[in-house]
Amino acid sequence: MRDWDSEGGSLSKNSPTSFFLYQSVSSSTEDCMQSGSGSYPWFALHVRSRHENSVAAILGGKGYECFLPLYRSRRLWSDRIKEIELPLFAGYVFCRFDMQRRLPILTTPGVVEVVGIAKRPIPIDDSEIAALQATLRSGLQSRPWPFLQVGQKVRVEAGPLCGVEGILLGFKGRQRLVLSVTLLQRSVAVEVDGAWIAPIPQKGPVSTDLVTYQQP
């Protein structure tokens, strides 16, 4: 199956790709204050394929605080290289809202459901969203990454991601910090300077080896 870009052109599977993180927050500060969305937890909305931007825009227009992390990818399209923006978490948009008043969310065109367990919506941990937002602000190169739960937990002690916690791994001689959204079983990898990193002490015996992931 071939991939397609936003204009309907085919994309080569072997096309060269470079990544960085781009932020799209749909609602204004005034909208958030009016809706009081900042006092509500974050939820992940499962949306129809290629509807992430439109859902975030519509909900932002309604006054909700939305978070749609994107990355730019350079793809070979027909006879030229084209740069496109893609969601870091394809098929999902993060949004703050009151679950007791979720009907305006569920009736938004493109929204499939609120992500949860056994049909019960589950909030996203604030620290996971905060880590992703800090990465957006940092401007460091980021990209989607296979979900990881094990490995050495570390804290960034310097640089633009100071205070952010994640899993450290080595990849082709570079250091990457993996940030995860546990509920979605999705992760993002961001390049960091090894000098910024300090291990987080854990109870009990833990391995001090770096987790290494090799792409197939």
Average pLDDT of the segment spanning 108-133: 95
> Of 191 and 76, which is predicted with more confidence?
191
Domains for the chain: give ranges and CATH numbers. Answer: 7-124 (3.30.70), 143-216 (2.30.30)
- Cβ contacts of 82 within 8 Å, gap of 6 or more: 5, 9, 74, 75, 76
pTM score, whole prediction? 0.73
pLDDT tens-digit profile of 125-156?
999 999 999 998 998 888 898 887 767 788 99
Whether residue 27 has pLDDT greater than 80: no
- Distance separating alpha carbons of residues 208 and 112, to the nearest angstrom: 42
H or E element in which residue 212 lies = strand 211-212
